[in-house]
Amino acid sequence: MTLPLPTRERFAPAIHLERLQRAAAEAGERGLDALLITPSRDYAYLLGYEAPLSERLTCLVVTPRDLPTLILPGLEEPLARHQLGDLADQLRIEAWDELMDPFTRVRDHLAPGSRRVAVQDQMWARFALGLQAALDPVKLVEAGAAMASLRRVKSPEEVERLRAAAAAADEVMTAITSERFSGRSEAVVSARIRELLLAAGHESADFAIVGSGPNAASPHHEPGDRVIEAGDAVVLDLGGTRSRYCSDTTRTAFVGTPPPEFAELYAVLQEAQAAACDAVRPGVPAEEVDAAARTIIDAAGYGPMFMHRTGHGIGMETHEEPYLVSGNAEGLQVGEAFSVEPGIYVAGRWGARIEDILVCTDEGGERLNRTSRDLYLVD
C-alpha cells in the first residue's frame, strides 16, 4: 500500500476564516457574548497552529459581532504571526508585556453588558479563575457544546486526513500481527508498535495497548512485564496523530489455537461489531448503534462483560463528539467520524475487542480501517 505523505501544513486561510465565522455565529445562536479559547485542539482547529502551552495567558476571543481578537504574550507574537500567515490580517492581535494584566485585556474586548461567556473546556484553572475574577459579574460557562457543534462534522479534507491516518494504522496492525508474540513482554510489543506508527508517518504514537492473557480483560490495560505465551488472547489497540488527525484501531490475536470457548466468544463479538457498523446511517440515533452491538452480546450471555460504550467520535482528538452510548438520542450526521468498538472481557481469563473508525455518509457507514476483523492467529 502506498500512503500519502503526512503533512503538517495548515488548511488554507479561507478555511480557518470560515471556521472563525461559524464560531462567532454559533456563539450568537447559543446566547453567548464570547468564546474564550486558550491553546488546545479547539484553538488549533480555529487558527491552524499549535500555540505553546505556557503560564502566560494566550486567549482567542470570538464574539458574535466583532473581529476575533488574539491576546497573547509579546514574546509569542512573532511565532503567532508566522504561523497564522495571511489569516493574521483577519484578526485583531494584541500582545501584552510582563507588566500588564492579560485578564483585563480580555475584559476590554467584551461588549458592554456581556453576561454569558464560554471558556474552553481544557482551560487551565489559573486562567479560568483569573478570568472569573476579572470579568465578574459575567457568568462563565463551558464552551464544549459550541465547539463540538463546530468540529463534529468533518469536511472532505478532514476525512481525507482521517483516511490516511487509518491506512497508516492498518499498515502497523498488519506488520505487528506478522511478528512472533510468544516469549516477548507486553511492553516490548507495545514499544515495537510505537516504532511502527512513527515509521508509518505518524507524528505521535499516542497509545499502543497490548493486553495479554488475563490482562486482555482490562480495556485500557497498561502494557507491562508480563511475557506473552501460548494460549493467550492479546488485545492490540493502537493509534496516534498523523497530519494532525487521529488514528485508532483494535484487533485481537491469539497465540496458538484458540479453544472452542474463546472461538465462540469471538464469533459473537464479530457479529456484534458488524451489526453496529451496518446500523450506521444519517439520522439514526447514536444510541441505536450501541444497541445493535449490545443486543447481540446480551443475547449470547456476555452482557455484563461489555462494560463500555460502543464508540466515540474522532478527529483532531482521539475522543470527541459524538459518543455511541445509551442515552444519546442525537441523530448521526453525514461527515461525523467515530469508532465502533464493542468488546467482551472475561475477568481473570481473557478479552477481545474489534475497533474500526467509520465516517457517516449518505449511503451509510464507510469503514476507514480495512484490515481483517478475523481473529489473528500468531506464534
What pLDDT does residue 10 have?
A: 77
What pLDDT does residue 180 have?
A: 97
- Domain 13-151, CATH number (from 3.40.350.10, 3.40.50.2300, 3.40.50.300, 3.90.950.10): 3.40.350.10
Q: What secondary structure, in 3-state letters, does the chain show?
A: CCCCCCCCCCCCHHHHHHHHHHHHHHHHHCCCCEEEECCCHHHHHHHCCCCCCCCCCCEEEECCCCCCEEEEEHHHHHHHHHHHHHHHHHCEEEEECCCCCHHHHHHHCCCCCCCEEEECCCCCHHHHHHHHHHHCCCEEEECHHHHHHHHCECCHHHHHHHHHHHHHHHHHHHHHCCCCCCCCEHHHHHHHHHHHHHHCCCCEEEEEEEEEHHHHHCCCCCCCCCECCCCCEEEEEEEEEECCEECCEEEEEEECCCCHHHHHHHHHHHHHHHHHHHCCCCCCEHHHHHHHHHHHHHHCCCHHHCCCCCEEECCCCCCEEEEECCCCCCECCCCEEEEECCEEEECCCEEEECEEEEEEECCEEEECCCCCCCCEEEC
What pLDDT does residue 339 have?
A: 98
pLDDT digits (tens, 9 = 90+) for 206-240: 999 999 999 999 999 999 999 999 999 999 999 99
Distance set, CA 317 to CA 143, 152, 299, 322 (Å): 16, 11, 34, 12
* Spatial distance between the Cα atoms of 41 and 64, rounded to a whole number of angstroms: 21
Q: Percentage of the chain surpassing pLDDT 70?
A: 98
* Spatial distance between the Cα atoms of 37 and 150, rounded to a whole number of angstroms: 14
Interaxial angle between packed helices 286-299 and 260-278, expressed in degrees from 0 to 180 and rounded to the nearest 10: 160
What pLDDT does residue 6 have?
A: 56
Tell me what the mean pLDDT of segment 161-188 comes to.
98
The residues, any chain, with a CB within 8 Å of residue 379's CB and separated by 6 or more, are: 180, 181, 182, 255, 256
Asked if residue 324 lies in contact with residue 287, where contact means CB atoms within 8 angstroms, the answer is: yes
Tell me what the mean pLDDT of segment 1-13 comes to.
66
For the cut 80, the answer to whether the pLDDT of residue 4 exceeds it is: no
Tell me what the mean pLDDT of segment 255-280 comes to.
98
* Spatial distance between the Cα atoms of 277 and 280, rounded to a whole number of angstroms: 6
Cell of 290: 450501541
pLDDT digits (tens, 9 = 90+) for 102-151: 999 999 999 999 999 999 999 999 999 999 999 999 999 999 999 999 99
End-to-end CA distance of the chain: 25
Asked if residue 315 lies in contact with residue 328, where contact means CB atoms within 8 angstroms, the answer is: no
85: region left, alpha or beta (phi > 0 left; psi from -120 to 50 alpha):
left
349: region left, alpha or beta (phi > 0 left; psi from -120 to 50 alpha):
alpha
Distance set, CA 80 to CA 93, 128, 179, 197, 261 (Å): 9, 22, 45, 30, 58
Domain 156-378, CATH 3.30.1330.10 — does that match? no
Tell me what the mean pLDDT of segment 277-295 comes to.
98
Q: Percentage of the chain surpassing pLDDT 90?
A: 96
Residue 209, phi then psi, degrees to nearest 5? -75, 130
What are the residue boundaries of the structural domains of the chain, listed by start?
13-151, 156-378
**Alpha carbon 4 to its chain's center:** 21
Asked if residue 73 lies in contact with residue 42, where contact means CB atoms within 8 angstroms, the answer is: no
Amino acid at 147: M
Global pTM reads: 0.93
Cell of 132: 472569573
pLDDT digits (tens, 9 = 90+) for 91-107: 999 999 988 999 999 99
* Spatial distance between the Cα atoms of 337 and 334, rounded to a whole number of angstroms: 9
For the cut 60, the answer to whether the pLDDT of residue 176 exceeds it is: yes
The residues, any chain, with a CB within 8 Å of residue 336's CB and separated by 6 or more, are: 152, 153, 154, 313, 322, 359, 360
Is there a common fold for 13-151 and 156-378? no
What pLDDT does residue 5 have?
A: 54
